[in-house]
Amino acid sequence: MLIKHILNRSPRSAQPAGHPTGTAPAATTTGPAVTAADCGLLLLRLTFGLFMAGHGAQKVFGLFGGGGLSATGKAFEALGYRPGKLFAVIGGLSELLGGLGLALGLLTPLAAAALIGVMINAMVTVTAAHGLWDTDGGVEYNVAIAVAALAVAAVGPGRLAADRFFRWGRGGWAEAAVALGLGGVGALISLSV
């Protein structure tokens, strides 16, 4: 009964005011209509989420031309993270699981927090010294990933997401604050150790 109610509710009442999917036509008897905003959010989530999951798989498993945990651990030690292999596991799993979570729209605020935390670390330890543009090794790419993850947490992952049945699946200020706050605290902890 509860599932039937969720599927048949009006999209306008299901979304906060101003939400991009809140302007959808009224629900039909088969469920709410999928909007262009839902498809756009899916495209954004899949692109950034799967790329980040791939980066994590490079670090953890050595897939897609990555060095795996041993090589990544040595690289992390060169950046000052000790023990390097432990931080390689933490960073790699944050990218892998955060990326998959974002792509699936699953536990979206936590997935966004994981990606934001990793990107803050990357900016502080590697790319900030090179300026803004990625062509010079700068922060451009890291900022884009962090902002995309935060934006998805803020507006919600859309109807084409695993979180669609949960309160946090609609996004909002609290979800954005959780993503930014946990990502920032996680980055601060790893940078201070």
Span 58-87, pLDDT tens digits:
999 999 999 999 999 999 999 999 999 999
Residue 5 has pLDDT above 90, yes or no: no
- H-type helices in the chain, by residue range? 2-8, 11-14, 36-61, 68-78, 84-104, 108-122, 140-155, 173-192
Peptide bond into 157 cis (omega under 30): no
pTM score of the predicted model: 0.82
The CA–CA distances, whole Å, from 98 to 38, 50, 102, 187 equal 20, 10, 6, 14
The CA–CA distances, whole Å, from 180 to 27, 108, 112, 162 equal 33, 12, 8, 21
Q: What is the mean pLDDT of residues 151-178?
A: 95
> End-to-end alpha-carbon separation of the chain, Å?
50
pLDDT value for 13: 43
Q: What residue type is 20 in one-letter code? A: P
Q: What is the mean pLDDT of residues 40-65?
A: 97
pLDDT value for 31: 62
Residue 30 DSSP symbol: T
pLDDT value for 193: 84
pLDDT value for 111: 98
Confidence band of 30 (pLDDT split at 50, 70, 90)? low
Is the four-CA dihedral 145, 146, 149, 150 of positive or negative sign? negative
Dihedral, CA of residue 44, residue 50, residue 52 and residue 58, to nearest 10:
-160
Residue 171 has pLDDT above 70, yes or no: yes
Residue 132 DSSP symbol: S
Give the Cα-Cα-Cα angle 93, 179, 81 (nearest 5 degrees): 40
